[in-house]
Amino acid sequence: MFASALVQSMLASAVLAWGIPAGVSSPADDALPSIFEPDPSLGVHVQPGVSNKEIIRRIIRRHIDEVKSCYEEELSRLPNLGGRIMVQFTIAASGQVIASVLQQSTMKNAHVETCAVEAVRRWQFPKPRGGGIVIVSYPFVLTPAPGAPDVELPEVAPAMKIFPGTNLAGAGEVEIETITPTLYVHRSTSADKIPSNGLIAVAAGGLLLVDTAWTEAQTEAVLAWGDGYFRRPWIGAVITHDHADRAGGLAALERRHIPVSALDLTVAKLAARGVRGVTPLFAARDGAVKDARGFEAFYPGPGHASDNIVLHFPGLTYGGCLVKSLAATDLGFTGDADLAAWPAAIRSVSARYSDTTIVPGHGPVDRSGEAFAHTLQLLGAAQRAHAAKK
């Protein structure tokens, strides 16, 4: 039976970490300069006429028996098992696969799916030129009998979660959640399993990042996703306060020469730690500024931190760590908080913006508009608990 098992594979797409201006169509893969360095040890010589897709196929064909073995382990128990598994994986600057995830499957067999994803994670590819990363989606068609049609897959729509459950260079999970066609939450998880939210906004001139991921590697993954999906340049980034869950990936932005701005108080705090290159977006004494990229930045006063700001886009308030999610049962980290001033800051934001979609710094997006009231409840409980200890 195992001898008759068939594994078919084809490259669906390779998302290159290059910015392509809006309105410019990307060239065919075989017309692109190779994104890979020659690597004789892997049998990849990168000759003219050999496309990037073919280079990736060569490495996958070399390892195809590992995926086939995953399938055959279950085929003896389920002789009619078959389907198509789409695995998305990220090739790091070293050529190592640093993330692999099940993107789509008709197999409906957890053992085969998990085994295939883990197999891909062990593979080694040539190094991408220039130290970038390459994101690949590759489908494996597995059937118990020969002759299955080599069906071309439709273009994969953007998933609600990109890289779900993966671990980028040991740094934690990264996800993308669609809010509107122009607003997306990026969510990264720290090594301590703490998820944190940021925002991607599609502006007239390109893409805007609001807060980095926890780490440089995670932030680069978010930037690469934007490159591949939108094919627009990154025109800037805004940091909403100086903590690591907002600014931990600044090195990735610096390497790409993406301009970064923040409240003047945040710029000063970062500079005190030796972080340069972040410019003032506006001054705390001015209270707010309307930005040509399509948002208003507002400083409501100290709360979670002395320098926390919120950003308002049409229909959405990005509250950052000033605002707690409806799932939060406490205020989280309060080492830099001003518990006495925090309630007034929340009331200022609530009075200024009446949107029902609120993105907190951590936890699920609130589409009910209740996150402000919930934060005030948590603050009240914290103040009562503090008073009881006196």
pLDDT digits (tens, 9 = 90+) for 18-68: 222 233 333 344 444 566 766 666 665 555 445 667 778 888 888 988 998
Question: Does 186 share its domain with 84?
Answer: no
Q: What does the pLDDT read at residue 40?
A: 63
The stretch 178-199 carries a mean pLDDT of 90
Q: What is the mean pLDDT of the chain?
A: 81
Question: Does 241 share its domain with 99?
Answer: no
Question: Does 104 share its domain with 208?
Answer: no
Question: Does 123 share its domain with 266?
Answer: no
Contact of 349 with 337, CB cutoff 8 Å: no
CATH of the domain at 45: 3.30.1150
The stretch 134-161 carries a mean pLDDT of 52
> Nearest 5°: phi and psi at 198?
-135, -175
Torsion of CA 323, 325, 331, 337, to 10 degrees: -20
Last residue of a domain, one of 143, 162, 189: 143
Q: What does the pLDDT read at residue 362?
A: 96
Q: What does the pLDDT read at residue 343?
A: 98
Instruction: Tell me the range of 76-80, 135-139, 319-323, 363-367 where mean pLDDT is highest.
Output: 319-323
pLDDT-derived band at 191 (thresholds 50, 70, 90) equals confident
Q: What does the pLDDT read at residue 157?
A: 29
Asked if the structure places residue 83 within a domain, the reply is: yes
Burial (Cβ within 10 Å: 0-12, 13-18, ≥19) of residue 385? exposed
Answer yes or no: is pLDDT of 296 > 60. yes
Asked if the structure places residue 21 within a domain, the reply is: yes
What's the pLDDT tens digit per position in 238-271?
999 999 999 999 999 999 999 999 999 999 999 9
Asked if the structure places residue 159 within a domain, the reply is: no
Question: Does 293 share its domain with 224?
Answer: yes
What's the pLDDT tens digit per position in 298-355?
999 999 999 999 999 999 999 999 999 999 999 999 999 999 999 999 999 999 998 8
Question: Does 132 share its domain with 190?
Answer: no
User: Measured in Å, how far apart are the chain's first and last C-alpha atoms?
Assistant: 75
Q: What does the pLDDT read at residue 78?
A: 86
Question: Does 128 share its domain with 186?
Answer: no
pLDDT-derived band at 205 (thresholds 50, 70, 90) equals confident
Range of the domain at 67: 2-143
CATH of the domain at 354: 3.60.15.10
Q: What does the pLDDT read at residue 2?
A: 34
Answer yes or no: is pLDDT of 236 > 80. yes
Answer yes or no: is pLDDT of 194 > 60. yes
Asked if the structure places residue 165 within a domain, the reply is: no
The stretch 285-291 carries a mean pLDDT of 97
Question: Does 51 share its domain with 94?
Answer: yes
Order of strands, edge to edge, in the sheet holding 183-189?
Answer: 174-180, 183-189, 195-203, 206-210, 234-239, 260-263, 278-282
What's the pLDDT tens digit per position in 358-389?
999 999 999 999 999 999 999 999 988 877 77
Q: What does the pLDDT read at residue 345?
A: 98
Contact of 365 with 316, CB cutoff 8 Å: no
Asked if the structure places residue 213 within a domain, the reply is: yes
Q: Which residue has the tokens 């409906």?
A: 108
Q: In this predicted model, which residue has the larger pLDDT, 232 or 210?
A: 210
Percentage of residues of the chain with pLDDT beyond 70:
78
Report the number of distinct structural domains present in the chain. Answer: 2
Answer yes or no: is pLDDT of 165 > 50. no
Q: What does the pLDDT read at residue 55?
A: 79
**Residue 304 neighbours by CB under 8 Å, 6+ apart:** 241, 320, 321, 322, 331, 334, 336, 337, 342, 361
Answer yes or no: is pLDDT of 113 > 70. yes
Q: What does the pLDDT read at residue 35?
A: 66
Q: What does the pLDDT read at residue 9?
A: 38
Question: Does 114 share its domain with 251?
Answer: no
DSSP track, 67-104 = HHHHHHHHHTT-TT--EEEEEEEEE-TTSBEEEEEEEE
- What is the C-alpha R_g of the chain? 24
